[in-house]
Amino acid sequence: MKNRFKLFSKISLILIFLVILAGSTVRMTGSGMGCPDWPKCFGYLIPPTNRAQLDWKQNYSYKKGQIIIKNNKLYSSKNKFKSGSSYNKLNWKLYTKHNYSLFNPYHTWIEYINRLIGALSGLSVLIMTLFSFSYLKEKKLIPFFSILVLFLMGFQAWLGKLVVDSNLMTIKITTHLTLAFILVILMIIIIQFSQKKLYNHDLSKKFKLIILLGFIVTVSQIFMGTQVREHIDNILKYSNIDLLNIWDETPPIIFYIHRSFSILVLLIHFYIGYVLFKSGEIPIAFKIIMLMIGLEILTGILMYYFDFPLFSQPLHLLFATILLAAQTYLIMEINTTKKNDI
């Protein structure tokens, strides 16, 4: 049971990483309204692949909630019925949660894949939670945090619905992303709790505070990144500027702070690495941290100077998430050792 818990906790973490990557791809490609309803997609469990599938049809069996596009508006079937030779408006109701009625097969399937990965991650977390009760007697925090993650996964799905119903309101998208970061942190805590002590060198309280400072600075940096992205989303939504010309607009002050803050993040972690090197052991988590910081800076440069090359934005967000996970793991790891002075 415990081995299965460890397996599904890691699978769940990987799937949450993939959800964040897929969600960022949805945002980058403008596919957020590819499925204008929730939890289905145009009322289908498997979405349509061409526009003709959403036209009203004669002698066709419609299921309740199935959607058609008529006169550039969405209509949802009131009940299960079979259409006749002419359109009967009594069988349909106007979809009023938003007025978005475009169909793009690429956007639809990108969003649909994002939802599928989200559903798989939810299923994996459910299985993990069931297996977590094998720790109930010895490590009660493991089932507690597992249940918390399961609850937040459900809340995250509900937030996803709100994002679609609001026609991609930027603040709701940012909240959706923030909760994903929290889920990653909680998953790392769960995984660390279920493992044995790994770090063989104790560190001083002062140095542990510096590591914590690195974590806080990184969280601040990620938060500023979400604000930069909100600014970009608002420009794309309310102006005729496309993503390739986004920097023709004067960036907000938060952009320059975000860009400069990466230097502070790098310097703090250079110092942490120096001290860890002197201690005789550099944890794998810290090596991942330094790699992710480097990749974060690289993808940030690519987005600014090369106009958002393909997948640079989703990778930028994925690297930030892995960085956050590695820092959480490092903090957990160094606090499972005995006292010593460095």
Token duo for residue 287: 């090596």
Q: Which residues contact 96 (CB under 8 A, 6 or more apart)?
A: none
- The alpha carbon torsion through 15, 21, 24, 30 (nearest 10 deg) reads -90
pLDDT at 189: 93
How do residues 278-316 score in pLDDT, each as one tens digit? 888 888 999 999 999 999 999 999 888 887 777 888 999
- Cβ pair 162, 172 in contact under 8 A: yes
Is the pLDDT at 122 greater than 80? The verdict is yes
Pairing of β 73-77 and β 92-94? antiparallel
- Range 74-95 average pLDDT: 94
pLDDT at 84: 93
- Range 19-24 average pLDDT: 93
Q: Which residues contact 225 (CB under 8 A, 6 or more apart)?
A: 258, 316, 317, 320
pLDDT at 341: 41
| Mean pLDDT value across the chain | 88
C-alpha 186, offset from chain centre = 14
- Return the axis-axis angle of helices 141-165 and 105-132, rounded to nearest 10°: 160
Using 50, 70 and 90 to split pLDDT, how confident is the model at 96?
confident
Query: pTM of the prediction?
Result: 0.86
Helix (H, G, I), strand (E, B) or coil at 92: strand
How do residues 161-199 score in pLDDT, each as one tens digit? 898 888 778 888 889 999 999 999 999 999 998 886 555
pLDDT at 201: 61
Using 50, 70 and 90 to split pLDDT, how confident is the model at 241?
low
- The alpha carbon torsion through 126, 127, 128, 129 (nearest 10 deg) reads 50
C-alpha 217, offset from chain centre = 20
Q: Which residues contact 3 (CB under 8 A, 6 or more apart)?
A: none
Rg of the chain (C-alpha set): 24
